[in-house]
Structure formats: C-alpha cells, structure tokens
C-alpha cells in the first residue's frame, strides 16, 4: 500500500478504501455537517426542494447562527428563525441560540462536537479550523451542505498535500497567527490552491490548541482545501474531557509524498501584520511606522479564544485607549466570555475604554458591532482584509495577533507590543 499523508489516511477511511491518491474522486462519509445563519437557510431550502424529510443523523447536523447575532435587523432575524424552526422540526441535538450561541469554529471544538480523525464539512470557508484537532475539515457551498444533510456523504477530489516545517524558537509575542500570516505572505493567497496544508516541526508541537486553531483557520487564505496538524499529547489533553464521541489519531507516513515542502526558521519570524487589501500583503510590525487607526477588534474565529484575551489583557492593563479610538473585544463563546470575566480581563478591558460584545462574528464580515466608515482604518485579529470587508470600500483593515492589536489600541497607531508592555 502506498504511503499516505494524514489527510489521505482520513479520507481513505471515510471513503471505505485502503488508500487514496491526490486527484482521485471519492465519496466520503461525513461526521459533522455545519451551517450558520447566512448559509444554512439556503441549504434548508434545497433540502426541502429535494423532497427530503429527515436529516441523515440528528447528532451530526449542527446549526450555529453566529454571523449576525444578536439579530441586527429584520432580515437577520428571519434567517435565524429558519434555522430555529428547522432545528426543532428535525430535533437536532446541536443548535445554539441566544445565550448559548458562540462563534461556530470556536464553539464546536470547545463542546467536543468535532474530534480528531473526523471528516467535517461546513458552509463557511473557515471550517478548516478543525484541522488543528487532526481532522479533515473544509468549507463547502450551501447546496453541498444540503446534500450532506440528506445523505451523510459528499464527494471530494483528494487534495495534494503541502508540508510546512517549522524549526527554531518562537520570538516574544509571536503566536500561531504570526506563523500563518508569514506563510501566506510567502506562498500568496493562491499558493496552496486546493491543497491540504500540513503544519509540522518542534515549534508546532509546542503550540497551544488556541494557536493551532488560529493557524488552521487561515489555511483558506492561502487558497487551501484544508489545514491540518497531527494530533499529539496537547490534542489529547484538550479532547480528554470534551469529546462527545470516540476518536482516532492519524499521522502521515514518513515517506508520504508531498506536492511541495517549505521550511521556516521561527527565529526569523516577528509579529506580523497583513496590510490592505490581501492577507498575503504581510510586513513585520517593526516595518510599519505612523499608521494611525480608528478601531481595534479583538475577537473572531481566528483570535477570540481565552489565550487571545489573556494576551490582550496583559498588555492593556493599566493603560487607556485614546478617545478617538474604538476598542471592541468579542469573546468567541459564552464559556470564554464567562472565564474572561472571572479572570478579571473584563475589568482591564473596561478600564482601558473598551466595548465588550457578546459572542458574534459581527465586524469580521462587515456584519455589525464595528462597521467602518469611509477612510477609517482598523487593526483586527480577524482573518480577512479584502476591500470593504469590514465596512466602506474606502476603509482599511490590518490583520494582526492580539498582542499587536492591544498595543496598537493603546498607541492609536500600529505598534509593537514591546512599546507598551511592562
């Protein structure tokens, strides 16, 4: 049997075959099919149009209305109503609403709904986040979601794999967000088109699960089909009390074939910023001078987890943001919200002059809770900075890690954390 990558092994298992090869078309069983308040209404309409009566498994279809919640207008309220009624009709186990809702790609790992070895599809491009757990996860269209909700299966073209090998020691203030921004700056927004990005090396093995999720979350920003990190002791510790189902760890064979291998020395990677208007337009934060800003967003499915809020609080403590600047902090889930409050982070944020939002995708996609006017600039821990992504087409978004975001909020301009840290 030919040697395989971790991605190929997972897909082969779910296709019921011994091995698969890149480019091969397969039909794979789905462990989790995910939809949100933007994409699921379309899938539900197609589900009904096809004449389907029941989802394939009420435990495996997950609906999370997170993009425009709390409902910002009548249209968004109608969208969520469609999900709510479908969830009740189908008796779905996992429908999150009201005080239970969180940003989907933070919520599902936290709840143990996604586990290592899974095949996960979601009608949201950042579904690739779950590769951090050692799962194959990818974004699909709403009609593909409908098909999966009906049949529990979906066809895939097996992707080629790219291997990204990291060595050396992480510099101060550098996290998984900086590593993935550095990679995207290197390969470009189409450099991994329809490939699986496999991240490996000693620094990756030492990364927290929060940082791993940030890395895999942005694989799509390099055009990838998925991102993945082989599960290990850190994964086991994370899943031990969370997993809702049995799971399996996969790893790549030592002689597995990769379309490309790239190596990076972490000693050369500094806190990184993606400048407008593409995630590939990266610069070291030390290279950016006197770029004044109007808003800072700390949150999203990339960097709204507890570790991210901890770093931001550490830097913001004892400081006050300028009066002209809006600092918006968005914990990604109710659990993270509650923990951050208990740990005293909220006191720090509020004393600094921040607004604290309930869990939502909100400003990341220009939804609500922080829309930009023409000519305004925002530093954000989100994942995209396309033209008009966060508001007016004449606004600008700079993507950073939470440490840089917090430092920039204090200075009112893009700033290195060392400028303000004690």
The answer to whether the CB of 138 falls within 8 A of the CB of 219 is no
List the chain pLDDT tens, one digit each, 422 residues: 789 999 999 999 999 999 999 999 999 999 999 999 999 999 999 999 999 999 999 999 999 999 998 899 999 999 999 999 999 999 999 999 999 999 999 999 999 999 999 999 999 999 999 999 999 999 999 999 999 999 999 999 999 999 999 999 999 999 999 999 999 999 999 999 999 999 999 999 999 999 999 999 999 999 999 999 999 999 999 999 999 999 999 999 999 999 999 999 999 999 999 999 999 999 999 999 899 999 999 999 999 999 999 999 999 999 999 999 999 999 999 999 999 999 999 999 999 999 999 999 999 998 999 999 999 999 999 999 999 999 999 999 999 999 999 999 999 999 999 998 75
Last residue of a domain, one of 264, 280, 315: 264
Instruction: Give yes or no: residues 174 and 73 share one domain.
Output: yes
Which of residues 264, 292, 307 is at a domain's end?
A: 264
Q: Both 400 and 378 in a single domain? A: yes
Rounded Cα gap, residues 312 and 406, in angstroms? 5
By residue range, what is the domain housing residue 322?
Answer: 272-419
pTM score, whole prediction:
0.94
> Do 26 and 103 belong together in one domain?
yes
Considering the domain architecture, whether residues 201 and 319 belong to the same structural domain is answered as no
Are residues 92 and 238 located together in one domain of the fold? Answer: yes
Q: How many domains does the chain have?
A: 2
By CB atoms closer than 10 A (0-12, 13-18, 19+), residue 125 is: middle
Domain match, 295 and 205 both: no
The answer to whether residues 384 and 258 belong to one domain is no
The answer to whether residue 304 is domain-embedded is yes
Residue 259 domain-assigned?
yes
1 inside domain: no
Residues 285 and 246 in one domain: no
Q: Which helix (H) or strand (E) holds 374?
A: none
Domain boundary among 264, 299, 330: 264
For residues 391 and 411, state if they share a domain: yes
Tokens of 213: 């999720």
User: In terms of domains, do 387 and 257 share one?
Assistant: no
**Contact by Cβ (8 Å): 306, 336:** yes
Instruction: Provide the CATH number for the domain around residue 286.
Output: 3.30.499.10
Torsion of CA 401, 111, 229, 28, to 10 degrees: -130
Cα dihedral angle (204, 208, 214, 220), rounded to 10 degrees?
Answer: 40
């Amino acid at each position: 049997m030919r040697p395989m990558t971790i991605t190929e092994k997972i897909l082969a298992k779910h296709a019921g075959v011994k091995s698969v090869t890149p480019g091969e078309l397969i039909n794979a069983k789905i462990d989790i099919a995910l939809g949100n308040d933007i994409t699921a209404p379309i899938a539900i309409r197609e589900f009904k149009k096809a004449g389907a009566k029941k989802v394939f498994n009420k435990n495996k279809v997950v609906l999370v209305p997170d993009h425009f919640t709390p409902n910002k207008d009548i249209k968004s309220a109608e969208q969520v109503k469609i999900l709510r009624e479908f969830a009740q009709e189908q008796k779905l186990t996992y429908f999150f609403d009201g005080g239970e809702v969180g940003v989907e790609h933070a919520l599902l790992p936290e709840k143990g709904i996604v586990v290592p070895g899974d095949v996960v599809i979601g009608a949201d491009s950042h579904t690739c986040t779950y590769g951090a757990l050692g799962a194959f996860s990818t974004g699909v269209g709403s009609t593909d979601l409908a098909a999966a909700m009906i049949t529990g299966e979906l066809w895939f073209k097996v992707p080629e794999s790219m291997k990204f090998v990291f060595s050396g020691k992480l510099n101060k203030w550098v996290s998984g967000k900086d590593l993935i921004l550095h990679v995207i700056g290197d390969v470009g927004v189409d450099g991994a088109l329809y490939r699986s990005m496999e991240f490996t090396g000693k620094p990756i093995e030492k990364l927290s699960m929060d940082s791993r999720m940030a890395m895999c979350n942005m694989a799509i920003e390099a055009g990838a089909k998925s991102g993945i990190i082989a599960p290990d002791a850190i994964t086991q510790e994370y899943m031990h009390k969370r997993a809702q189902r049995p799971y399996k760890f996969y790893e790549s064979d030592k002689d597995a074939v990769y379309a490309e291998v790239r190596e990076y020395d972490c000693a050369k990677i500094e806190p990184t910023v993606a400048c407008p208007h593409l995630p590939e337009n990266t610069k070291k934060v030390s290279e950016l001078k006197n770029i004044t800003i109007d808003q800072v967003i700390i949150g999203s499915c990339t960097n709204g987890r507890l570790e991210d809020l901890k770093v931001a609080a550490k830097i913001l403590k004892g400081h006050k943001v300028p009066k002209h600047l809006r600092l918006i902090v968005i914990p990604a889930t109710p659990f993270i919200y509650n923990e951050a409050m208990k740990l005293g982070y909220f006191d720090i944020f509020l004393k600094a002059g921040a607004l604290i939002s309930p869990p939502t995708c909100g400003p990341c996609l220009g939804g609500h809770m922080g829309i930009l006017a023409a000519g305004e600039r925002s530093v954000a821990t989100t994942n995209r900075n396309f033209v008009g992504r966060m508001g007016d087409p004449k606004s600008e978004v700079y993507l950073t890690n939470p440490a840089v975001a917090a430092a920039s909020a204090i200075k009112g301009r893009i700033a290195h954390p060392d400028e303000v840290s004690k």
